[in-house]
Structure 1
């Protein structure tokens, strides 16, 4: 058969396997489709399918097929990160800056410290550090992965819980938006290529200058044209960031963050996010699963994943508990917000992919991070739903 035919077989597998598991097993309560797609990607990778049926795996997921899938996956994830940047509402965060600053700062800082502690302990054993990583890059990268809140996936979960457009949902968006900015900023520092600092300075200066012109243009053109211009801007920023030695994901996030949400119709923006998840994101999850490695040993990978999950969840709960005491929230409110903010999902997978691409973490560390992201996202709905039922009165609180 031709490469095209193998590519189409791979696409059928990518879309059918997760959907059938999700629909037939009715996993939506504890594992939304986005989680099932990630798990299916792991199962279809070399660690599971490749180990059980090596010839079939090597034939269907050959190098040319993987290369073709990666092209679609890159653009899909760039769109996803771009939309996440657009959905940042810094004006709302500024209006509630004391509350947002305290909560977001603690929600980022506490799990970051705990995650860095786990990473430092991992360095005592070989096999976790990436080939081009310094110890500080590894520790800070894993620590920040534990601190990530997956804003786009969290939006989807809050939509299902019917709290996204309510005051509580908007509070969660403010907290996670501020943390998103910090996460991508720290990522830019971690992956900075010090041999290309000049290029990076040119990129940042150019982005600031051209960004002013871009914002002026976007406000003057018809709403329909903003989609086309925005996508061109996304491609330019992604290329420029990658050329500068950062990563095209950093460029994609900045391309969205500089755009005001109200420039687009909210329903159309929601539809685009859902369609990206439907049409292209599963390919990204598959390409992510194909990177999974188990050579350190299955037990070691799961132990590392469990330790990072504990740091992430406990860190968020401690942080929001402290914020609740400072801001005098109702009993139980801090735990509810903490369980929402611990959601990892796609953003952390993207973050881990960047670290792997830059060889700052090993394949085994990437696998542990991936398992942690899946477990974190699966915990959200079961832990939040009963708390929402008990604390329904706080859903309408705007502070």
Structure 2
């Protein structure tokens, strides 16, 4: 007698798919040179979504990804991304950015403003037609949101890429992190502006005032606690900020980032923090990638969505490279250096996907717009490693445009 599988068994089948397929593609296909495992996981999430797997094998998709399974996966995904964004906030080192403020503000500012302007122009063009603005969004919110999506740099993924390229601890790598860190703060500030809800502005003001007071208290408390207790208090603080930010009309991920950004990096051991981030990325973030893929749709037709993704990709990459090259000319960087920095800063996966998820959650953009942004983020990130590898080799070559050590030296503040 055939017995239908229960929710637990279906959930575990989904988890088996989530972890097995991306790893096999990454390992057997040896994709690391152009698509690291995290990128393969994101692509797998898209392929396993309703727009592709659900369209080709609707019966199988409906059998495994039942509402109860999707609900369980979403719960894990929410907590996973909150943890990841919290760590990204804790790892921000704005003191170092301030120490090199002329170089950092000039580069980070141009690397943000130029692609945001081009992305907003692309969004202005797209929103002439229906299908991109969500039921809860206004045109200016979509234009600003898509513009910022084109300007985003994925700081956590950037760290992984710098490690892979063996330049994380070099002056060039540290400079790139400073630029990305400053832009990371601006990204969440713009998101808060987009999400400003005049019907709940009182709640949002109350949240911000309470947050400032509570953050001072939490910082003081952490100084008095032992290392192990700091982690528990940090996670309690994360959940509290996520809840209150969402209650106020902002998104729980805005609260998650702020809860980490206000903590002193010295409150947590750097090695343990990096290990914690890597553990999150390996163990539960793949669930977020699948959860993201489950939200992709091709309601406007694949051609329109792919066309929008291509337009946004051009705006993002050209804008980022143009902004960084302009900064390089102003700051008199050595030849070839701006190309390396620009291509690194156009890495978009994860943070842009999180950003787009927030816009979709608030119904500011449609599922089709979300899918276009997701495809743009994946393509942008897949370009980074192969392009930067070649540029670094040219930068360091004895007969290249610069001497081996040049281009890797510190810029004066």
RMSD: 0.8
Whether the 8 Å contact between 2:334 and 2:407 is mirrored in structure 1 is no
Q: Which residue of 327, 333, 357 maps to 1:329?
A: 333
TM-score (normalizing by structure 1): 0.99
User: For this pair of structures, how many residues does the alignment match?
Assistant: 399
Q: Indicate yes or no: 2:223 matched with 1:219.
A: yes
Q: Which residue of 249, 252, 257 maps to 1:253?
A: 257
Matches for 1:337-376 after TM superposition, within 5 Å: 337-376=341-380
Q: Which residue of 362, 370, 393 maps to 1:389?
A: 393
Give the superposition deviation at 1:262. Answer: 2.0
1:127-162, CA deviations, whole angstroms, 9 ceiling, x for partnerless residues? 111111111000000000000000000001111111
Report what 2:121 is aligned to: 117
d(CA) in 2 for partners of 1:211, 1:74: 22
d(CA) in 1 for partners of 2:406, 2:314: 27
- In structure 1, runs of 5+ residues without a counterpart are none
Report what 2:152 is aligned to: 148
Whether the 8 Å contact between 1:21 and 1:36 is mirrored in structure 2 is yes
Matches for 1:224-243 after TM superposition, within 5 Å: 224-243=228-247
Report what 1:203 is aligned to: 207
d(CA) in 1 for partners of 2:169, 2:308: 37
Whether the 8 Å contact between 1:168 and 1:394 is mirrored in structure 2 is no
Whether the 8 Å contact between 1:18 and 1:37 is mirrored in structure 2 is yes
Report what 1:55 is aligned to: 59
Whether the 8 Å contact between 1:167 and 1:398 is mirrored in structure 2 is yes
1:37-84, CA deviations, whole angstroms, 9 ceiling, x for partnerless residues? 011001100111101111110110000000000000000000110011
Whether the 8 Å contact between 2:337 and 2:407 is mirrored in structure 1 is no
- Secondary structure of 1:45 counterpart: coil
1:157-200, CA deviations, whole angstroms, 9 ceiling, x for partnerless residues? 11111111221111011100000000000001101221100000
Report what 1:317 is aligned to: 321
d(CA) in 2 for partners of 1:14, 1:149: 25
TM-score (normalizing by structure 2): 0.96
- Secondary structure of 1:28 counterpart: helix
Give the superposition deviation at 1:265. Answer: 1.3
Give the superposition deviation at 1:19. Answer: 0.5
d(CA) in 1 for partners of 2:190, 2:406: 33
Q: Indicate yes or no: 2:48 matched with 1:65.
A: no
Matches for 1:131-146 after TM superposition, within 5 Å: 131-146=135-150
Of 383-392 and 116-125, deviating more is 383-392
Whether the 8 Å contact between 1:167 and 1:395 is mirrored in structure 2 is no
d(CA) in 1 for partners of 2:86, 2:167: 23
Give the superposition deviation at 1:395. Answer: 5.6
